[in-house]
Copies of this chain bind each other. A is one copy, B any other.
Amino acid sequence: MLKNMCLIVCFNQMIKCNFTRLMEKNSTTEEKIKQAARKVFTQKGYAATRTRDIAEESGFNLALINYYFRSKEKLFDIIMTEEISGFAEKVVAIVNTATTGFYEKVEQIADTYISFLIDHPGVPLFIINAMNDDPKKFFSKMGFNPKTEPPIVLMQLLEILIQEKRNVHPMNIMMNIMGMIVFPFLATPIAQRIGNMSKSELMFVLEHRKKMIPVWTKAIIEAS
């Protein structure tokens, strides 16, 4: 009988423990505050958000922000680092594979990124601001340092340009590719106001870009 009781208690403990482990990632106070911070920081930027905004958005008290994260800046750094890795890690893998060719990589990047950005349209502006605000900090958070070898895509592109005797700086091509992927998410208001586009129309245009960016890239290189 005693043994049975013990087992039940043990079992309940186990359930509780696993349940907690499963839930905690999304429902801890700490995590809730982080989610609130991510939302507000992404929307308004560092300077314009007050810790009170984050507290309100999280549903918790102002003091808890400092209890969990020490300061506004430390919290921001965590969010920034996460956003950067979320943005970068997808691409780093693709960009540094030797087994795929250049155009194949462009295809993968365009597809992966645009899908990601459709779900996180505020990320590009957030990242570009963080990058311009403090480049050194940004690239170190990104795990990039001057000694890092240039990514394989860049080498592959260079090879194509040399082989085909194109007269362009590879960075000019890379900027076009990055711009084609990212710019629409910076200029959404233009599309909406001047282009007079509805949300679904914008969606259609963005989906179309996934397919077209590799094609356009090829055309750009061949015209150079």
**A positions within 8 Å CB-CB of B:** 44-48, 125, 128-129, 131-132, 135, 138-139, 144, 146, 150-151, 168-169, 171-172, 174-176, 178-180, 182-184, 186-197, 201, 204-205, 208-209, 212, 215-216, 218-220, 222-224
* C-alpha gap A209/B224 in the complex (Å): 11
* Cα distance, A151 to B46, chains bound together (Å): 36
> Is B129's CB under 8 angstroms from A194's CB?
no
Q: Please tell me if the beta carbons of A171 and B223 are within 8 angstroms of each other in the complex.
A: no
Complex: chain B residue closest to A171, CB-CB: B195
Distance (whole angstroms) from the CB of A161 to the closest CB of chain B = 13
Nearest CB of chain B from residue A15's CB, rounded to whole Å: 47
Known contacts A45-B47, A223-B215, A223-B216; A205/B169 CB under 8 A: yes
Q: B128, A171: Cβ atoms under 8 Å?
A: no
Does B172 contact A208, Cβ atoms closer than 8 Å? Answer: yes
4 pairs of A and B residues whose beta carbons are closest in the complex? A179-B183, A219-B223, A47-B48, A179-B179
* Residues from chain B with Cβ under 8 Å of A191 in the complex: 171, 175
A200: shortest Cβ distance to chain B, in Å? 12
Give the complex CA separation of A48 and B150 in angstroms: 34
Q: Tell whether, in the assembled complex, residue A194 and residue B125 are in contact, meaning their CB atoms are under 8 Å apart.
A: no
Contact A175 B171 (CB under 8 A): no
Whether A146 touches B209, Cβ cut-off 8 Å, given contacts A176-B180, A190-B131, A220-B219, is no
Q: Name the contact of A216 in the complex, choosing from B151, B176, B208 (C-beta under 8 A).
A: B176
CB distance B195 to A224 under 8 Å?
Answer: no
Across the interface, A193 reaches (CB within 8 A) one of B48, B144, B168, namely B144
CB-CB under 8 A for A183 and B184, given A172-B205, A176-B216, A190-B131: no
Q: How many whole Å from A152's CB to the nearest CB in chain B?
A: 13
Are B219 and A189 in touch, CB under 8 angstroms? no
Q: A132-B189, A139-B193, A151-B194 are in contact. List 19 more A-B contacts (CB 8 A).
A: A46-B48, A48-B48, A125-B129, A131-B190, A144-B193, A146-B196, A169-B201, A169-B205, A169-B208, A172-B208, A174-B195, A175-B184, A179-B182, A183-B183, A215-B223, A216-B220, A216-B224, A219-B219, A219-B223
